[in-house]
């Protein structure tokens, strides 16, 4: 039996798109003290930044980043600033 599609491809892309505006980054990707405590347990900028990004994406829009996925630069910069990591460590 064929499946029915609830959302069109455009609607699905819109729903799963990552925020890029400063207001949306603040709304969805701001860490509280408990989050920062958990993130700071990771060693090295690359590990802290990677863990923090995965935490953000699991909360909104609700999926883990794949190995071949690209992340918008504003997301990396905002998360790196909060966890006091070098944004360049994301490439590692």
CA separation (Å) from 44 to 18, 24, 75, 76, 84? Answer: 25, 27, 19, 16, 11
Half-sphere exposure of 4 (CA within 13 A, CB side): 1
pTM, two decimal places: 0.86
How confident is the model over 5-63, as pLDDT tens digits?
Answer: 888 889 988 888 899 999 999 999 999 999 999 999 999 999 999 999 999 999 999 99
Residue 29 lies in a domain: yes
Residue 24 lies in a domain: yes
pLDDT at 52: 98
Structurally, how many domains does the chain consist of?
1
Residue 23 lies in a domain: yes
Give the pLDDT band of residue 73 (cuts 50, 70, 90): very high
Residue 62 lies in a domain: yes
Domain that holds residue 30: 19-91
Give the pLDDT band of residue 67 (cuts 50, 70, 90): confident
């Amino acid at each position: 039996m064929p499946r029915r599609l609830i959302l069109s491809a455009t609607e699905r892309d819109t729903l799963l798109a990552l925020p890029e505006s400063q207001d949306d980054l603040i709304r969805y990707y701001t860490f509280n003290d408990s989050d920062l405590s958990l993130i700071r347990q990771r060693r090295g900028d690359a590990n802290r930044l990677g863990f923090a990004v995965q935490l953000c994406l699991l909360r909104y829009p609700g999926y883990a980043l794949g190995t071949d996925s690209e992340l918008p630069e504003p997301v990396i910069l905002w998360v790196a600033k909060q966890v006091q990591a070098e944004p360049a460590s994301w490439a590692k």
